[in-house]
Amino acid sequence: MKGKLLKTFASSVVALSMLVGCSSGSGTASTELKEGDTVKIGLNYELSGAVASYGQAEYKGASLAIKQYNANKDSKYKIKAVKMDNKGDASESTSAATKLMTEDGVAFVVGPATSGASIATYPVADQNQVPVISPSATQVDATMNGDSPYEYAFRICFEDSYQGKAMAKFGYENLGKKKAVIINEVSDYGKGLTKVFTQKFEDLGGEVVATESYNAKDTDFAGIITKVKDKGADVLFIAGYYSEAGLIIKQAREAGMDCTILGADGFESEKLAELAGKENLNNCYYSTAYTTVNASDDLTAFVDAYTKEYGEAPNMFSALTYDATNLGLQALEKAGKTGADLQKAIADAKFEGLTGSFTFDKTHSPKKSVLVVNLVDGVQTEAVSVDPNK
């Protein structure tokens, strides 16, 4: 019996070593590409797990971009997408990226959607010299490794706090507001936005007269609103997500606060109007990376193609990924090589996409304008682009 057990153990060890030995690592150095070559691209997404809705939307955006590229006769290469599911887990994401880069030999990786999963792939990208383009890693300093950026990591979204700057500028310059109160959520998102907003607003010459905070999932904001109501502010900045912001707006308006309300992309949801009430969403502005208001021809074409392909309207995530994939493909055509040359082509890219035109700054984040949309009776009516750096 025991002898049999030993045999089973020994054979399973052998089986294991054979199984893990099925493949060998491929070279990751810069390779020259010829016209008509098949090039693999890695799609590393949260296809299952808690944040699968982001991952699925981004996967569709990327797939559409690749499909359109392959259908285009002018394209130099044939693109083959290799997808991996990282389950929304940082360590799964590391191994998914490693597999794409070493086993499949992809030219570049688009994804993952969330910041944590993205950051987990950047050291692997540098090690293997394969660029990673993150469509939506908005966390502050996501692409930074200490003082310098990860060489092969890029993102095409602005970071959370960048919007705070943009909204401060929009409030002070475009709307001419001078006195602000801030209500923020106690989270990285809320605190980051508050810090940057305050800094920029005061630099410009405005004054932040009060800052109050709340916890996620709070529902009664009467105390906070009473405190800030009589401060004489002409603008209220809410640094949080739609679920609480909607209730704050409703309760503030009902308490008679009729000042301008500003917010960031946490407002982006149909639920905002449901929670706040349509009649309360006037004189209200928020920043976003994507809106179909005043859509360009390219954007309209994208929305149509996407709707036709998947039977649902695209969102911010699919549009950002569509841009990220196209950016990578353009750089690939320009460089004609993978590895270090492709990295350089991406870093130097001047890209015009659905979510704006941009170049990369020294942190490998895009220098692009933030879109500020105006809500009238809860409906987006107008989009203004604001560049906080100018």
Query: Taking a C-beta distance cutoff of 8 angstroms, is the pair 56, 321 a contact?
Result: no
Collapsing DSSP to helix, strand or coil, 332 comes out as helix
Q: Which two tokens stand for residue 371?
A: 């879109």
Measure the CA–CA gap between 251 and 280, rounded to whole angstroms: 9
Q: Binding to other proteins by residue 23, rule CB under 8 A?
A: yes
Distances in Å between the Cα of 388 and the Cα atoms of 173, 338, 370 are 11, 34, 8
Residue of the chain from 94, 134, 194, 280 that contacts other proteins (CB under 8 A): 94
Q: Kindly compute the dihedral angle of the four CA atoms of residues 316, 321, 327, 329, in this order, to the nearest 10 degrees.
A: -150
Q: Binding to other proteins by residue 185, rule CB under 8 A?
A: no
Residue of the chain from 11, 91, 357, 381 that contacts other proteins (CB under 8 A): 91
Q: Which is nearer to other proteins, 3 or 223 (CB)?
A: 3
| Least Å from the CB of residue 47 to other proteins | 5
Distances in Å between the Cα of 201 and the Cα atoms of 128, 165, 301, 388 are 43, 8, 38, 11
Q: Binding to other proteins by residue 47, rule CB under 8 A?
A: yes
Q: Which of 200, 312, 210, 205 is nearest to 264 (CA)?
A: 200
Residue of the chain from 41, 81, 109, 119 that contacts other proteins (CB under 8 A): 119
Q: Binding to other proteins by residue 159, rule CB under 8 A?
A: no
Among the residue ranges 116-124, 228-236, 241-249, 381-389, the one whose residues contact other proteins (CB under 8 A): 116-124
Q: Binding to other proteins by residue 24, rule CB under 8 A?
A: yes
Measure the CA–CA gap between 329 and 214, rounded to whole angstroms: 44
| Least Å from the CB of residue 190 to other proteins | 11
Number of residues interacting with other proteins: please give it, by CB under 8 A: 43
Q: Which is nearer to other proteins, 14 or 293 (CB)?
A: 14
Peptide bond into 112 cis (omega under 30): yes
Residue of the chain from 9, 220, 258, 382 that contacts other proteins (CB under 8 A): 9
Q: Binding to other proteins by residue 4, rule CB under 8 A?
A: no
Q: Binding to other proteins by residue 281, rule CB under 8 A?
A: no
Residue of the chain from 48, 53, 174, 389 that contacts other proteins (CB under 8 A): 48
Q: Which is nearer to other proteins, 190 or 353 (CB)?
A: 190
Beta strand spans in the chain (E): 38-45, 78-85, 108-110, 132-134, 144-145, 148-149, 153-155, 179-185, 207-214, 235-239, 260-263, 284-288, 351-353, 356-358, 370-376, 379-386
Backbone angles phi, psi at 362, to 5 degrees: -75, -10
Q: Which is nearer to other proteins, 7 or 231 (CB)?
A: 7
| Least Å from the CB of residue 129 to other proteins | 13
Measure the CA–CA gap between 107 and 130, rounded to whole angstroms: 6
Backbone angles phi, psi at 342, to 5 degrees: -65, -40
Residue of the chain from 36, 146, 205, 311 that contacts other proteins (CB under 8 A): 146
Among the residue ranges 17-25, 246-254, 340-348, 354-362, the one whose residues contact other proteins (CB under 8 A): 17-25
Q: Binding to other proteins by residue 341, rule CB under 8 A?
A: no
Q: Binding to other proteins by residue 139, rule CB under 8 A?
A: yes
Among the residue ranges 20-28, 260-268, 298-306, 371-379, the one whose residues contact other proteins (CB under 8 A): 20-28
Site string for other proteins, 95-114 (x = CB under 8 A): xx-xx--xx-----------
Burial annotation 278-291 (CB, 10 A radius, 16+ → b, else e): eebbeebbbbbbbb
Q: Binding to other proteins by residue 25, rule CB under 8 A?
A: yes
Distances in Å between the Cα of 169 and the Cα atoms of 44, 157, 173, 238, 348 are 36, 19, 6, 15, 28
Backbone angles phi, psi at 247, to 5 degrees: -70, -40
The owner of tokens 């691209």 is 41
| Cα within 13 Å of Cα(120), Cβ side | 21
Q: Binding to other proteins by residue 70, rule CB under 8 A?
A: no
* Residues in contact with other proteins by the rule CB under 8 A: 2-3, 5-6, 9, 12-13, 16-17, 19-21, 23-25, 47-48, 84-85, 87, 89-91, 94-96, 98-99, 102-103, 115-116, 119-120, 122-124, 128, 139, 145-146, 187-188
